[in-house]
Each structure stands twice: as C-alpha cells, then as structure tokens.
Chain A
Amino acid sequence: MMTDTQWPVFEVFHQQARGEPHVYVGSVHAPDAEMALLLAKEQYARRQACVNLWVVPADAITASAYEDADIFDRSTDKSYRESWGYKTPKTISSGDGKDSEK
C-alpha cells in the first residue's frame, strides 16, 4: 500500500434530512476531527442538501478481508430471507378484522 504523506484520513458521512440515515460519501485529509468537519462541508455538502455530517478517523474502522469475501456467498436457496419472497398486506390490520387486506 502507498504511504500517505498528508494529514490523517477521515471518512465522511452525510445526512440529507433529519431522520434519514447518514450515508458514506468519501474521505478528507485533516489534522483533526474539527478541521475534518470544516473541510468536509465544502467537499461533500456544497451541492446536495445536508443537515448533518459525521467524520470518523479512517483508522477507527475495522474491515473484513476481501479474500474472505466468500463468507458472504449463499450456497443454498435463501430466498425465504428476502422480503420479496412474501406477500405483504397493503394496510396494517388493526386486529378487529375491519381493515384487512382485500
């Protein structure tokens, strides 16, 4: 791996509206977390709407190894784990039988 001679790397997560998940958008180099937030604002939030940013030191992340990617493979049919494998009611039943699915 190439040695990075710049400041430490912070990974940046962007939230478009309150209640939405923070989504990973990229990284910035910065001397500390506060400056990372200031610099991330112009890199990642100057075009799309934003209400909140997270920055996380890249070295705080523990990642799985790509050579172990086969652990995510499915050897047998696991469609029962997918929501599309089931019929879903259009309305939630209140339990009194009045608004059950047609």
Chain B
Amino acid sequence: MSTFETLESLNGRLRGAVVDLLYRLADDDLIAGHRNSEWTGLAPILEADIAFSSMAQDEMGHALAYYQMLHALGEPDPDTLAFTRQSRDFRCASLTCLPNHHDWAFSVLRQFLYDAAETVRLTALSQSALLPLAQLATKLRSEEKYHLMHGRGWVLRLGDSTEESHQRMQAALTNLYPHALGLFEPTAADEPLAQARICPREEELRRQWESAVAPVLADAGLDLPETVQPIHGGRSGGHPEALGQLLNDLQLVHRLDPVAHW
C-alpha cells in the first residue's frame, strides 16, 4: 500500500481532494469553537463555563492546525482564511453554526454529537495514508477523547434527570439530528480520498458515528427521530443565515483594520 510522506507529494485531483477535506475539517472546528465560546461567562455554573470555554479553545486550535496544513498546500495563511472569507466560501456543516439561543441542553447535545463525529473521523484519519495528516489526527485525538467524555456525561444526566431537562434534550435532538447527519455530506472528494486510503468515504464514517451515538442517546432515554432527511449544502457553501451573522461577530475586529499588527 502506498503512503504519502509529505503534502508536497500530492498532485492533481488528489491534491484538490485533500484541500477540500482540510477545509471541511478546519471550518467545522473554527465555527463550532466560536459558537461554543459564546457560552463564556454565561454557562449555568462556573465549572461548566470554564470546561466549555476551554474546549472551545481546543477546537480553534485544531482549526489552526488544519489551516496551517492548507497554507502549506498553497492556500492563503490562517488569518486570511478565518477573517476574510465570506459565508459562501466556508465548508462547515450546518450543525456547527446553529445559534445557541441560551439553551444549554441544545449546546451540550450539539457538543456531544459533534465530538462523537470528530472522534470517529480522527480515529480513521490516524490511519491515513497521508502521513502528516495521520500524525496530526493522532495528536488531536486525545483532546477529543475528553470532549466526548464531557458531552456524554451531560447527555446521560440531562436526558432523564427531570421532566423539563428530558423535554429540552428531546427537542434539541429532534432539531439537531438532521444537521448532525450533514457532517457526513458526500462530496466529489470522497472517491479519490477513499481510493488513496487518505480518508474513508463519508457514508462509512456516518455508519460508525451512528453506532457510536445511538447507545448513549438510548441510555439517556432519548428517542431518535424516525425518518430523518440529512441537511446538506454546507460542504458546497450553502449555509443557514446564522453563519453570516456568526462571521459578522468573528470577523468584526479584523474588518475595522485589516492590516493592523497584533
């Protein structure tokens, strides 16, 4: 089986597919991290606030690592990618940009669904034939392990704690599940990435994710929606209005003075 020792050894269609994959990984983490950071100072109790904020920083750190890899492949530098692109240029799934609406149940359930997907993906990527990506995935996986433990802990407790907490969690799950499936929206990059053993097909990752989250949701007393139509579009730049509003916040300071040095 052939491996790719360096990013520079990628050519043509495969190189384009890797760039597509890295944009999806990076943008998911940046936008999820930004959304979660909106709880800083506002989470239900101090300890939860600190833990959630710290994990939001982790996600932004992961995004930076992917943006740096993109830069090494000839894309613009990380700050340019994060602070100057428009909504339609982003490749994140809709799950990551949905507003929190001050609903902790919604946010911890999203965190669980998202980090379960990250764990599945990073576990697969740690075996990637693209060695720099495999090394990065192995490094990022330990932080994701904690994120998953954290999300699982909250979901199991809020799912069947009180009548109100159960109802809020069930409503959040019904709302979030189709967006979560959108994390595995197929793209034209699937086939070349799978054939080169750089990343498994999205449908395969989706199956692994479903079997990872289903038992936890069942233990929490939550019911999966019976028929679900995944919400796609994010991987080709079609996003909910919420992403534009999020980017207004995220890019506000940069827009005030794009050439300022910090």
Chain B residues within an 8 Å CB radius of A43: 47, 50-51
For chain B residues 27-59, which have a beta carbon within 8 Å of chain A? 45-48, 50-51, 54-55
Given known contacts A39-B51, A42-B50, A43-B50, A7 and B45 CB-to-CB distance under 8 angstroms: yes
CA distance A83 to B165 in the complex (A): 58
Q: Is B149 an interface residue (CB 8 A)?
A: yes
* Closest chain A residue to B51, Cβ basis: A42
- What 1/0 flags go to A22-48 for Cβ under 8 Å of B? 000000111100110011011100100
- Tell me if A30 and B47 are in contact (CB < 8 A): yes
Q: Is B141 an interface residue (CB 8 A)?
A: no
CA distance A42 to B54 in the complex (A): 7
- What 1/0 flags go to A53-68 for Cβ under 8 Å of B? 0000000000000000
Which residue, of A6, A29, A35, A43, has the highest number of chain B Cβ atoms within 10 A?
A35
Q: How far is the CB of B85 from chain A (nearest CB, A)?
A: 30
Q: Is B254 an interface residue (CB 8 A)?
A: no
Chain B residues within an 8 Å CB radius of A42: 47, 50-51, 54-55
Chain B residues within an 8 Å CB radius of A34: 153
Q: How far is the CB of A29 from chain B (nearest CB, A)?
A: 6
The size of the chain B interface, using a CB distance under 8 A, is 13
Which residue, of A29, A31, A38, A43, has the highest number of chain B Cβ atoms within 10 A?
A38
- Tell me if A35 and B50 are in contact (CB < 8 A): no
- Tell me if B47 and A39 are in contact (CB < 8 A): yes
Q: How far is the CB of B116 from chain A (nearest CB, A)?
A: 16
- What 1/0 flags go to B99-123 for Cβ under 8 Å of A? 0000000000000000000000000
Given known contacts A39-B47, A39-B48, A46 and B153 CB-to-CB distance under 8 angstroms: no
Chain A residues within an 8 Å CB radius of B55: 42
- Tell me if B45 and A35 are in contact (CB < 8 A): no
* Closest chain B residue to A30, Cβ basis: B47
Q: Is B139 an interface residue (CB 8 A)?
A: no
- What 1/0 flags go to B133-170 for Cβ under 8 Å of A? 00000000000001001100100010000000000000
Chain B residues within an 8 Å CB radius of A28: 47
CB-defined A-B contacts under 8 Å, sample of 22: A6-B45, A28-B47, A29-B45, A29-B46, A30-B47, A34-B153, A35-B157, A38-B146, A38-B149, A38-B150, A39-B47, A39-B48, A39-B50, A39-B51, A41-B146, A42-B47, A42-B50, A42-B51, A42-B54, A43-B47, A43-B50, A43-B51
Interface residues in chain B, defined as those with a beta carbon under 8 Å from any beta carbon in chain A: 45-48, 50-51, 54-55, 146, 149-150, 153, 157
Across the A-B interface, the 5 shortest Cβ-Cβ residue pairs: A42-B51, A39-B47, A42-B54, A28-B47, A38-B153
14 other A-B residue contacts (CB within 8 Å) besides A35-B157, A38-B149, A42-B55: A6-B45, A28-B47, A29-B45, A29-B47, A30-B47, A34-B153, A35-B153, A38-B51, A38-B146, A38-B150, A41-B51, A42-B54, A43-B51, A46-B54
